[in-house]
Structure 1
Amino acid sequence: MKQFAYAIPFLLLLSMAPALANNSTYTDLDTDHCKSLLPEDTEGGSISLQCKGLEDYAVYFKEGDLRQSILYGPVSGTYVNDVFESFEPFNNATRKIEWRLGADGKPVATILRWFLENIDPVTYEPSLKLKGQVLVVSKVADGTGQGCVVGYVDALANPEPNRVAREVADTRAKDFACGKDTAAYHGIRGPTAAEPTHVFPD
């Protein structure tokens, strides 16, 4: 398990940065009323869904091996099929999606809280006392058809995790190159903020 790491320069930058004009709106992820993208006889319990998001911006939800991955907006078929970004331990996302809107009113990023089922090194079972919470900041797909995770914020270690996540969304998402740029933790990373995983098309 990783030790505490402090990103002091980043926090100082946030405190000095001028207020950004981006606004937020919210939607609920209702996986009970989504379109399945996999055949009914798919083995292994894998799930791939197209769900209602914000206006015409769909949400693509995947689950496999008790781990979840979510994409947003007009992502390409290749990304829908082949991208899977999650965490090493078992995990699940909450259902309240925060959409960050640009000056033109179109969504550029999302923020969603994930729960991480970290393993107790003694019992080798998920432990409530080690359960992590991470805000995942994602890029809403643009004209390239590419959307992905752009950053993470430990929701337990930072005093204002939502503020940090919004700063990441507003400053990183637009120019983030999916599959090339690295999605990193921002702010303070505590010991329950597990390592992310990323699978992209070749």
Structure 2
Amino acid sequence: MAVAALLSTALDPISPASAQTFGSRYTSTAPKDCRVTGAGTEVDDSTIRTCPGKAGLVVVITEDDLRETVSVGRNRAAAAREPAAQVWFGPFNSTEHTVEWRTANGKPFAIIQRWHIADNADEDKNGRPIAKPMLAVIRLPPGVCHVAYIDAQANPKANELARKAADELARDFKCGKDEVKVIGANGRAVGLARR
């Protein structure tokens, strides 16, 4: 009887959790691909880009005082209520226009986006801060928040690290309870972002 039980267990199909297929899809947050609102003529005027995402979600990028926030929701109002909409980095910053959507069996659960964080201690020949690249992993609803940061200069395989962090951490991450993880080598961009 014990042998039959062992054989039955050994022949059972792979559990659904271990048979997940992870993948990536991409969307754009370039102004030409989004609905842009609030654009003013003053330097400090804020703008909001609402950009089509995946699975009925939108990406909302709010720019104010040369700093951006990124959130995701079913619509702009829902994205604005998420914790990610309240995460500002101290130094001036901006995001790349490509969003990577991590999926499990075709369903998105996290995004990865490249940020540029201005380093006031490292200026170019014209006296402008040199931006340092960082990848941010952001969990998708329910609960949209930053999960992990990967310094793109300090880690040659930053994209791989970000995908692994998304796949392993994002779905079980508790917004407001869990602390954002630094994945890989800690570099200048992550240090600036965490000030």
Give the TM interval when normalised to the shorter protein: 0.7 to 0.9
Q: Is 1:165 aligned with 2:166?
A: no
Stretches of structure 1 that go unaligned for 5 or more consecutive residues are: 1-17
Q: Which runs of structure 2 are paired with 1:40-51 in the superposition (5 Å)?
A: 44-51=44-51
TM-score, scaled to structure 1:
0.73
CA contact (8 A) 1:62 1:68 kept: yes
Shift of 1:93: 0.4
CA contact (8 A) 2:151 2:188 kept: no
**Residue type matched to 1:177 in 2?**
K
Measured in 2, the distance between the counterparts of 1:91 and 1:43 equals: 15
Taking CA–CA contacts closer than 8 Å with sequence separation of 6 or more, which of the two structures ends up with the larger relative contact order?
1
Q: Is 1:109 aligned with 2:110?
A: yes
CA contact (8 A) 2:100 2:112 kept: yes
Moved over 4 A (4+): 36-44
Measured in 2, the distance between the counterparts of 1:188 and 1:44 equals: 35
- Residue 87 of structure 1 corresponds to 89
Stretches of structure 2 that go unaligned for 5 or more consecutive residues are: 1-17
Q: Quote the sequence identity (%).
A: 30
Structure 1 residues 84 and 47, CA gap change in structure 2 (3 angstroms): farther
Measured in 1, the distance between the counterparts of 2:156 and 2:41 equals: 46
Higher helix share: 2
CA contact (8 A) 2:133 2:151 kept: yes
**Residue type matched to 2:121 in 1?**
D
Cα deviations by residue, 1:5-58 (Å, 9 ceiling, x for unpaired): xxxxxxxxxxxxx99731111111132343356597999412223221124121
Which secondary structure does the structure 2 equivalent of 1:87 belong to? coil
Bigger mean CA offset, 52-61 vs 63-72 = 52-61
Which secondary structure does the structure 2 equivalent of 1:54 belong to? coil
Structure 1 residues 167 and 19, CA gap change in structure 2 (3 angstroms): farther
- Residue 144 of structure 2 corresponds to 147
Structure 1 residues 114 and 41, CA gap change in structure 2 (3 angstroms): closer
TM-score, scaled to structure 2:
0.75
Measured in 2, the distance between the counterparts of 1:54 and 1:191 equals: 32
Bigger mean CA offset, 66-75 vs 158-167 = 66-75
